[in-house]
Amino acid sequence: MSALILDGKALAQQFEDEMRSRVDKLKDKTNGRTPILATILVGDDPASATYVKMKGNACERVGMGSIRVELPSSTTTEQLLAEIKKLNTNPDVHGILLQHPVPEQIDERACFDAIALEKDVDGVTCLGFGRMSMGEAAYGCATPQGIMRLLEHYKIPMSGKHAVVVGRSAILGKPMAMMLLNANATVTICHSRTQNLADHIRQADIVIGAVGKPEFIKADWIKDGAVVVDAGYHPEKCGDIELEPLKDRVSAWTPVPGGVGPMTINTLIFQTLESGEKSIG
């Protein structure tokens, strides 16, 4: 079987070209105004700093602006909420990203939920999740929304298919399941404590690995012809799924790296552009 490679890296590049054109049109229409993404980094975690820099670079590549708010690791919940409030009321800011994780003394959920719905381009608020789940207008969490854009671009059938999502995090597993359900898939949500996990996965037409453990999902659990989406990435340069033995017997799969990851940042920028077009266009 010749499997289809769901190439997120190439697709993100294609989408960036399209977004650059849209940004140019918006600038022409509004005397040079451009969508702006504000990123908030609390503390000095090097991985988080790298992710924030990558998001700023992605904005620059499509001609959008970005603002970096950097706060010390001693920041309190109240101080972070005050910064979010400033960005909420700034008419030149169209998207707000609070980089996860924040230092332990901060109430992360309270700070996520303080982000205005129309600027929640990373899809992290409870209100945004609820609206998305109900099929109402909201920006989806960037990683699962990126996966949906990847599946839709490659015309992967979802309606009527059995999708198994392995993972239940608030920003990946749970919204992924809701998005697939909204696309008329039949969805099973599993996790690291699911009994008889392999039996559930063997029934899946679409497998989404989002459990956060290296190669936790074994190749022999996955049936021939399935669509395999691996949302994990680990220092061992592998994902959550044992991919190598699958490449000749599934119908489609995402490489790690180069599959889901590039679509996550691309979706964040895409949703910021949409927010900017609504606000200033």
CATH number for the segment(s) 142-261: 3.40.50.720
Where does CATH 3.40.50.10860 sit in the chain?
A: 31-121
Return the CATH superfamily for domain 31-121: Leucine Dehydrogenase, chain A, domain 1 (3.40.50.10860)
pLDDT at 145: 98
Residues 78-126: tens digit of each pLDDT: 999 999 999 999 999 999 999 999 999 999 999 999 999 999 999 999 9
DSSP 114-167: TS-GGG-TT--SHHHHHHHHTT-S-PPPHHHHHHHHHHHHTT---TT-EEEEE-
Give mean pLDDT, residues 72-77. 98
pLDDT at 186: 98
Give mean pLDDT, residues 117-139. 97
Where does CATH 3.40.50.720 sit in the chain?
A: 142-261
Structure tokens of 184? Answer: 């008329």
63 phi-psi bin (left φ>0, alpha ψ -120 to 50, beta other): left
Catalytic residue among 7, 119, 120, 122: 122
pLDDT at 1: 59
The answer to whether residue 55 is catalytic is: yes
The answer to whether residue 240 is catalytic is: no
CA 215 to chain centre: 20
What contacts 14, CB < 8 A, 6 or more positions away?
none
Percentage of residues of the chain with pLDDT beyond 90: 97
Q: Which amino acid is at 190?
A: C
Catalytic residue among 99, 120, 145, 174: 99
The answer to whether residue 220 is catalytic is: no
3-state secondary structure of 92: coil
Q: pLDDT confidence of 237, banded at 50, 70, 90?
A: confident
3-state secondary structure of 104: coil
